Amino acid sequence: MFRVAVFSSKKYDRTFFDKFNTTSDLTFEYFDCRLSEETVELAQGFNAICVFVNDQVNANVLAKLANFGIEIIALRCAGFNNVDITEAKRLSIKVCRVPEYSPQAVAEHTVGLMLTLSRKFHKAYNRIREDNFALDGLMGFNLYGKTVGIIGTGNIGMATLRILKGFGCQLLCYDPSPSLEAKTEAKALTASYVPLATLFQQSDIISLHCPLVPETKHLVNQQTLSQMKPNAMLINTSRGALVDTKAAIKVLKSKQLGYLGIDVYEQETNLFFEDLSGEILQDDTFARLSSFPNVLITGHQGFFTEEAIATIAQTTIESLQKLLNQQAIEPILLVA
């Protein structure tokens, strides 16, 4: 029997993992806390650990995991920027992930942010609850005919393109290494691949769908923000550090950026996935960001659908079973 420690677990994780764990080979034990240098001792006695986006898997944590005999780190997400992959490989710890759980879930959330900002649904909802039916201040704009730039044409970026094509948008794309399938489908959707500077300059709406790697950190910064059209919209449902938050605040204050919708935040580790409603937030940058009337923030819930959580649980369990039994799994599931 193989024991798996699940960090950053929530009630829904337990429900879906227990539902799909139909074998007696695996047992899951759940920890509410994040994995970090302070909590890594909890991994003693386990064969594998399962972590999420804000768990800390740096060299120090990995060294202790190796000493505990941990063989596998299973990421229940697609991104792996929080794991020191080079060190894990050196320590012979296998790292697997869930590369595709529901591109449609994140794509639909992305377009939901666009629509909410463009039509001010959130403001209208609050007004109606106070019996205020006036339309002053709620005028929006059509997505139809707008130029939308998609940065990153992986599964989620392409799913977003398909939806926006149905809205009648003009579509631009940027990807330093698009797949042949993405290029073929983008052409069929009449989406054009353009240089990054061109996308920033010509788009009415820009949506980020790329991984966080050293080359993409603060991809959206003071310089690229200054290239955007006045009153343009920026959406980020990928990773928080793709956007330089302080630079975004500057252009929001100057009214150069018209709308900002984010489901991720570069300092989200101590905020998202927790109920902090009874506490005073200590993050002044986040507090300033959330004070703008043209900013919409959701707490990393783009992935959060029944279909996606089910796929995450099933894929993670299948990968763990195969790896713990020395069986091969699809290369796309492994992080080399």
Query: Annotated catalytic sites, by residue?
Result: 239, 268, 300
CA distance 159 to 316: 23
Q: Which residues are within 8 A (CB) of 302 and not within 5 positions of it... i.e. 6 or more apart?
A: 105, 106, 109, 110, 237, 263
With 0-12 / 13-18 / 19 or more C-beta atoms within 10 angstroms meaning exposed / middle / buried, residue 224 is buried
Torsional class of 150: left (φ above 0), alpha (ψ -120 to 50), beta (otherwise): beta
- Amino acid present at 164: L
Q: What is the DSSP string of 91-129?
A: TT-EEE--S-S-HHHHHHHHHHHHHHHHHTHHHHHHHHH
Tally the C-alpha atoms within 13 A of residue 221's C-alpha that lie toward its C-beta: 9
Region of 92 (left: φ > 0; alpha: ψ -120 to 50; beta: rest) is left
